[in-house]
Amino acid sequence: MEGENSSSIRCMDIDYAIRKDEPHKITDTSTPEEILLYERWEKSNRLSVMYIKTKISAGIRGSIEQHENVRKLLKAIDEQFVTSDKALASILIMKFTSLKLTSIRGVREHIMEMRDIVVQLKKLKVEMSESFLVHFILNTLPPQYEPFKSFTTHIRISGLSMN
């Protein structure tokens, strides 16, 4: 845990259950030290679960399994976001491949929107080569941009810079 609340949380020992494995359950033969250790862990676990549940949105809370163990809860939240990242990557790829230049927007806005999608995909570890991007974006332009497409392709093949 990081941020402004992390030092106060550590002082209260709330994160103990995150840092330490769950001790053995209390039995009739448990020593006073084992009882104290389990009670410390159980309190930390309960407070951590409550704290996390108050800090995540209702939409996320409703989409993950309910857990009474803080480590299992954190793992479920993590798995939810991995699934969400995969879904987001698929949505962005579909948007990228179906984007076409319209008369409402200019070429510059069209190219910038496509580059923005590529940046988002890169953050999700979906990489595309610069050469592929140039050719793909040029192919989304309508026929009236053929001279521009030919010029840009010629410049790239020649190794000249358009900067």
Residue 141: DSSP 8-state: S
Q: What pLDDT does 4 receive? A: 55
**Neighbouring C-beta atoms of residue 16, cutoff 10 Å:** 19
Question: What is the band of 1 on the pLDDT scale with cuts at 50, 70, 90?
Answer: very low
For the chain, what are the domain ranges? 1-81, 99-163
- Per-residue model confidence as pLDDT tens digits over 12-25: 678 889 899 999 99
Q: What pLDDT does 80 receive? A: 79
